[in-house]
Amino acid sequence: MNDGILLIDKPSDMTSFGVVARVRRVLSERAGKKVKVGHTGTLDPFATGLMILVIGKECKNAGHYTKLDKVYEATFRLGQTSTTGDPEGELTDISDKQPGLEEVKQVLGQFTGEISQRPPIFSAIKINGQRAYKLARNGEEVEIPLRTVTVYSLELVDYAYPNLTVRAHVSSGTYIRSLAVDIGAVLETGAYCSSLRRLSINEWDVSDAQHLSDLGVTN
């Protein structure tokens, strides 16, 4: 493949840039020349699921794919918070309150439609030309403004305290980690996103994606 898109099911414990680098290496080796490869939106290292990679001339259209709606399945762990909003951060016990099912459903309903959220400081958003996560890791104070996003649906998949699993259909720019934090705040339990999988991007589904091993990537 020299031009077009490639659907990849990203493994956990790998950065999106790591996925791109590995695919670029394999495609370039096959083509006998350097092949241009780009991503259309990062997934956190702990997350898995669908990535759309753009190849060759299609790289110029990366912005089109970035703006598309997405569907995720996520598990939020109640009772604790994380400095990063995910399992990689420093965890703090907040509360042993165990909300009932009806309370959980009622709170989830508050997070559908247009909502305001503040992206995590440990994110790839640029602040004055630098990635927010790099500033945060350097101990610098990071102020990320609120943004308006759309949650088209937020479906309860399973609830067995402390784990709350949801399926979220959201607009581009929505941070599921921020959703976890905000829901935990309203429930007065604290919460962080303990697992995250991207199921689809617009009409593209993770079931149609290739694994890195399918391409011959070994590490």
Give the DSSP letter string of 34-101. ---EEESS---TT-EEEEEEEEGGGGGGHHHHHTS-EEEEEEEEETEEETTSSTTS-EEE-------H
Residue 72 burial (10 A CB sphere; 0-12, 13-18, 19+): buried
Question: Running DSSP on this structure, what letter comes out for residue 210?
Answer: B
Distance CA 141, CA 31 (A): 45
Which residues belong to the active site?
44
